[in-house]
Amino acid sequence: MHLQRSVLALLGGAVALLLVGVVISVAASRQPETTYPPGSPEATVADFVRLIEAGKLDEAYSLTDIAGLTRERFDEQFDPAIRGDSSRRVTLIRTNVDGDVATVVVAISTLSDPDSLDVSEYTNRQTYRLRRENGRWLITGPSYLGL
């Protein structure tokens, strides 16, 4: 009898921890998105990523000026059907602005199959290079996008 109560207590504790984890996860995913000053390099990169996620490739492509990046190549790279069903979170690491050029370093965390209990997360850093042209920031790199 004592063993059954111990097992039930352990099971109850495990369920309680699982529920706490779910609540924290849901709360964290509902935090408001960070906004950046309009016209800033950070806002340009944030807009680019949001547009890609929303499947608005025309608008996202208009924010780029990468040597060798054709519209067809861009569509192939960011086609939602190819990229799969995953959720991404982008976190600003740092920005460096020097006159009309800037670099924005972000961490991109990808959650695979967010609707499943078997979720895996992968994070990589991405450095975007930008150039201000006619008062507007355009993404000029990373160069692998144009290959």
> What percent of the chain is predicted at pLDDT more than 70?
65
3-state helix, strand, coil in the chain (%, to 5): 40, 30, 25
Which amino acid, one-letter code, is at 92?
A: L
Encode pLDDT of 26-38 as tens digits: 444 445 567 889 9
Query: In whole angstroms, what is the distance from residue 101 CA to residue 57 CA?
Result: 24
Q: What is the pTM of this model?
A: 0.69
Query: In whole angstroms, what is the distance from residue 88 CA to residue 111 CA?
Result: 6
Q: Which residue has the tokens 């924010």?
A: 63
Encode pLDDT of 59-71 as tens digits: 999 999 998 889 9
